[in-house]
Structure 1
């Protein structure tokens, strides 16, 4: 059974995973669909602005904080190896660290950086915008699914 500090940290980590999964779900189901439906210059400009504004203490606190907590929970799991729930803890932490945080760093952030360099007035940016929306959203589905699966695994560990 998981108890004490490991229980508390796992609970907070699971909540963080759920919050981030919700943010990514909202992006996939409404934000990106809306931006993609706008005239390309407007959608591109709006996403450039959104990529600046999302870097704020609240979002980063939850997003990066959950990654840090996932690492702490994984280490604590290896050290204490609870009788039940250890594998679920490790799977949940790995899903968040690799599937959510890692995918963000290697897939979404580089696309955001490239988007930032586009000129909304340059005609060649239109096709790049379409490609960005398609690829960025696909990777967003991956990281959102990983965050949700991480949340589920951590909750299952707590219930074990």
Structure 2
């Protein structure tokens, strides 16, 4: 449970920073520079530390759900709701929406005629889904923390 709380809090913070500073900064850059920076960020973030926290939190949340449903401790409903908020709102949104957008951006040449349009589309969609996963991870952290007490 502690790992699930800490991990969802870490992911909430990471997503929050992107939603309210990084993406705005990238949007202010010339298209090719902003795209290149985001391509590098997307490649660099796939490191053992990030992947351990991202996947480890999902695993911890699955265990919290299974153990809580089985043992039914006090406040187990909040723990399960928090775990599900991370699994569906943080983990699955990343896998289903943000990662495919990242992969499409990575394939786009910086100097292609359609780059400006695609970059603006990427910024809009990626940030919208990032706001959602930020809120989901904050909710997960709060509910898991309450469930922990």
Shorter-chain TM-score above 0.5? yes
RMSD of aligned residue pairs (Cα, Å)? 0.7
Please, what TM-score do these two structures have when normalized by structure 1? 0.91
**Aligned mates of 2:5, 2:50 — CA distance in 1:** 16
Structure 1 residue 27: deviation in Å? 0.5
How far is the alpha carbon of 1:123 from its aligned partner? 2.0
Aligned to 2:28: 37
Which of structures 1 and 2 has the bigger CA Rg?
1
* CA shift for structure 1 position 143: 0.5
Aligned to 1:7: none
* 1:97-129 deviation line (CA, Å, top 9, x unaligned): 001100001110110011011000112111100
Residues in 2 aligned to 1:112 and 1:11: alpha-carbon distance in whole angstroms: 30
Matches within 5 A, 1:60-75: 60-75=51-66
2:11 to 4, 11, 20: 20
Residues of 2 paired with 1:154 and 1:127: CA distance? 40
Deviations 1:80-113 (A, max 9, x none): 111x111001100100000110000111011001
Aligned to 2:47: 56
Query: What is the alpha-carbon distance in structure 2 between the residues aligned to residue 48 and residue 76 of structure 1?
Result: 39
Q: Secondary structure at the match of 1:45?
A: helix
Partner of 1:87: 77
Aligned to 2:122: 132
Query: Equivalents in 2 of 1:24, 1:153: separation in Å?
Result: 18
Query: Displaced runs of 4+ in structure 1, greater than 4 A?
Result: none
For structure 1, the residue ranges without an aligned partner over 5 or more in a row are 1-9
- Structure 1 residue 28: deviation in Å? 0.6
The 5-angstrom pairing of residues 93-112 of structure 1 reads 93-112=83-102
Q: CA deviation at 1:11?
A: 1.5
TM-score between both structures, scaled by the size of structure 2: 0.98
